[in-house]
Chains A and B, each alone.
Chain A
Amino acid sequence: KNEVEQSPQNLTAQEGEFITINCSYSVGISALHWLQQHPGGGIVSLFMLSSGKKKHGRLIATINIQEKHSSLHITASHPRDSAVYICAVRRVFGNEKLTFGTGTRLTIIP
């Protein structure tokens, strides 16, 4: 079983819908990252969380350390949000090693 699991693997939604992408992990972590990979392949950091919630524009990320779970929400989704969203965890005592989920491919239809 992978240490980091994302769901769903693929998600197609209509423009304007509220989107939720989930990330569950099975190891102790010091931080969790959310990344966005554009259709062209470029990768951008969205958030790093160690507790609670962060918001940037229409993106909201939450983490529940006790349940070993994080969610990425997109409000008022837009076709430009179409991308692969990847979560990654930094393990406790793992220095700067990152372990990644396999990603969620999001497609927003106009």
Chain B
Amino acid sequence: EAQVTQNPRYLITVTGKKLTVTCSQNMNHEYMSWYRQDPGLGLRQIYYSMNVEVTDKGDVPEGYKVSRKEKRNFPLILESPSPNQTSLYFCASRGRKNRLTGELFFGEGSRLTVL
């Protein structure tokens, strides 16, 4: 089954404890992206990647890192999480053939709480 898988789905952590949210897709998609969703602010793009070893900042990259060493994986790294990074995070991917339709495939979301 074609899917985008995020882990963990739920996490409560403390300020300053490094964490990684993984994102993996099994559709051989070139494009992958991370978003955060906050009440009243909607979705905001954190980072995106056009292909392996190619990443770029979205609108809210501060406090986050990403890497794209393999096509299927695009982990989101919070080196020193702070309470303002408490949010619902989504990963999405899109293949080259989907660029004309623009269809994005989203993961189920990861709810992160930083105390």
Q: Which of A33, A42, A86 contacts B42 (CB 8 A)?
A: A86
State which size class the interface on A falls in: 20 to 34
A53 to chain B, nearest CB (A): 15
B5 to chain A, nearest CB (A): 13
Of A10-18, A43-51, A71-79, the one touching chain B = A43-51
Contact flags (1/0) for B25-36 with A, using CB distance below 8 Å? 000000101010
State which size class the interface on B falls in: 20 to 34
Say whether A42 contacts B50, CB under 8 Å. no
- Residues of chain A with a CB closer than 8 A to B43's CB: 86, 88, 98, 100
Say whether B106 contacts A43, CB under 8 Å. yes
- For the complex, give the distance between the alpha carbons of A42 and B102 in Å: 18
Given A33-B102, A95-B56, A96-B50; A41-B40 close (CB under 8 Å): no
Interface residues of B (CB under 8 A from A): 31, 33, 35, 40-45, 48, 50, 56, 58-59, 88, 90, 92, 101-106, 108-109
